[in-house]
Chain A
Amino acid sequence: MKITLNGEARDLAGPSVSDALIQIGLGTAKVATALNGSFLPAAARATTTLNEGDALEVVAPMQGG
Chain B
Amino acid sequence: MPVYYDTQIDSALMLGTAQYPSPAIMAQAFHAAQAGIATVSLRREGGAGQDFHKLIKGLNIPVLPNTAGCHSVREAVTTAQMARELFETPWIKLEIIRDDDTLCPDVVALVEAARILSDDGFQVFPYCTEDLSVCGRLVDAGCRVLMPWGAPIGSGRGLNNVYGLRSVRAHFPDIPLVVDAGIGLPSHAAQAMELGYDGVLLNTAVAKAGDPVAMARAMALAIEAGRLAHQATPIEARDMAAPSTPVFGMAALGQGGMA
Give the interface of A toward B (CB within 8 A).
6-7, 26, 29-34, 37-39, 41-42, 57-65
Whether the Cβ atoms of B50 and A64 lie closer than 8 Å is no
Q: What is the total number of residues of chain B having a CB less than 8 Å from a CB of chain A?
A: 34
Determine how close the nearest CB of chain A comes to the CB of B175; give it in whole angstroms.
22
13 of the cross-chain contacts (CB-CB < 8 Å) are: A26-B45, A29-B45, A29-B49, A29-B50, A30-B49, A32-B85, A42-B85, A59-B44, A59-B82, A60-B50, A61-B42, A62-B40, A64-B41
**Contact segment of B16-24, B155-163, B234-242:** B16-24
Whether the Cβ atoms of B16 and A64 lie closer than 8 Å is yes
Whether the Cβ atoms of A58 and B45 lie closer than 8 Å is yes
Number of A-B contacts (CB under 8 A): 98
Whether the Cβ atoms of A39 and B40 lie closer than 8 Å is no
Whether the Cβ atoms of A41 and B45 lie closer than 8 Å is no
Whether the Cβ atoms of B49 and A61 lie closer than 8 Å is yes
Q: Which B residues lie within 8 Å of A42 (CB)?
A: 85
Closest to B201 in A: A65
For window 48-88 of B, CB contacts with A under 8 Å fall at: 48-50, 52-53, 56, 65-66, 68, 74, 78, 81-83, 85-87
Separation of A1 and B242 alpha carbons in the complex (Å): 81
Whether the Cβ atoms of A30 and B86 lie closer than 8 Å is yes
Whether the Cβ atoms of A34 and B82 lie closer than 8 Å is yes
Separation of A61 and B51 alpha carbons in the complex (Å): 9
- Given A26-B45, A32-B85, A63-B53 contact (CB < 8 Å): no
Closest to A43 in B: B85
Q: Which A residues lie within 8 Å of B16 (CB)?
A: 63-65
Contact of B45 among A37, A39, A59, A64 (CB under 8 A): A59
- Given A32-B42, A57-B44, A62-B82 contact (CB < 8 Å): no
Closest to A24 in B: B45
B153: Cβ under 8 A from any A Cβ: yes
